[in-house]
Structure 1
């Protein structure tokens, strides 16, 4: 039994290395957790799905998985919706997503869409002059996002905080108007 467990563990370590996560990496444990219950066929299928869905090259999918091995555990529908939103609606380049795949670990409904709506509203109404990276905007902790993009505009857009809260609950922000 111990030999079987050791063989299984060694196979998982080899698989983690094979998907681009070196043993000394901070992501190594996450990679082991991600592949623990997946067969090699399922891992290969998920890698192919990621390549097709995000229009990534072999190198880009390797970069993304090495930085966020939990992508292997995400369901296809969630990945598809994220791809459509980030590439088609937000306008992120596939290579940019591969370099910063943490954006794919955030909730589309509770974080990505609401923040996109707020930034789009602020830009459309001339309230946000600088061009910020969406990767940065999506990565900010909630408190910092609110302090930087909601609070400063309380006077000119009184409904912003309320609409952001509604959007975070998955409701359509009806009052977010674009000039």
Structure 2
């Protein structure tokens, strides 16, 4: 069938084929649509039953549907490699509703395609509206929700209880940092991706900005997207520049956090 020995051995332990005609036709279709051997091996190791699919009847229509919304040939392999279970899902009952759900928030097919390429396993397709309602109940704006869906699409498809638990745990974590309820809600409203950050990452960033640099927690709350910036590659290098300028008396001590961290690298350097 053209698989690696490891893949063939893994599949042979779980499945038995009378002939290789069907598996060969599946593999041929995947290769014709740009899937590499390593991608195919990963897919069939995780979902060996795909080798029993009727390629022209069940696989090809999925490829054609995704191509119709703008997925490129290389994009197909990325999407199914990240989420091989989609190969066994119904177009009418799954792929089309998935597309409609994403488009209802992201608006354009171009953004939907980008989200699909980022998406991992989808646990609960119809949990999305309930999770969406939870965020709206917190006052998260439509633009912020769109950003969250675009950047972390799988998050919104978690089971409702798990999603709510994640939100509540993050809110409790921010309370332990000494933030008020209004400040926490402000963070989630402005940048809901902050609920995806690890506690270690947030604590390290807050410790540096508040304890080392002297900014108030409220300053961070006003622009919470700074919590997503790399501490080592963006925050510390820029703050080192600020420290030097402060020591030389070239800037005032009350420099705004936003003016240091938010500008692009080019704009930051131009302002020095």
Give the TM-score of the pair, scaled to structure 1: 0.72
2:170 to 27, 31, 46: 46
SS in 2 for 1:39: helix
- Give the equivalent residue in structure 2 for 1:26: 143
SS in 1 for 2:179: coil
Note the C-alpha offset of 1:130. Answer: 7.3
Flag the 1:130–1:148 CA change in 2: closer, same or farther, 3 A. Answer: farther
Give the TM-score of the pair, scaled to structure 2: 0.49
Q: Please, what is the CA RMSD of the aligned residues?
A: 2.2
- Give the equivalent residue in structure 2 for 1:135: 258
- Structure 2 stretches lacking a partner, 5+ long: 1-92, 98-123
Note the C-alpha offset of 1:31. Answer: 4.0
- 2: CA distance, partners of 1:5 / 1:119: 47
- Give the equivalent residue in structure 1 for 2:225: 102
1:5 aligns with 2:125: yes
| 8 A Cα contact 2:219 2:257, kept in partner | no
| 8 A Cα contact 1:65 1:71, kept in partner | yes
The structure whose Rg is larger is 2
SS in 2 for 1:27: helix
Q: Which one has a larger percent helix, Structure 1 or Structure 2?
A: 2
Higher relative contact order (Cα pairs below 8 Å, separated by 6+ residues):
1
Note the C-alpha offset of 1:9. Answer: 2.1
- 2: CA distance, partners of 1:73 / 1:29: 15
Q: Deviations over 1:15-69 (max 9, x none)?
A: 21133214xx21122344474245211221111112222x211111000111010
Higher mean C-alpha displacement, 34-43 vs 80-89: 34-43
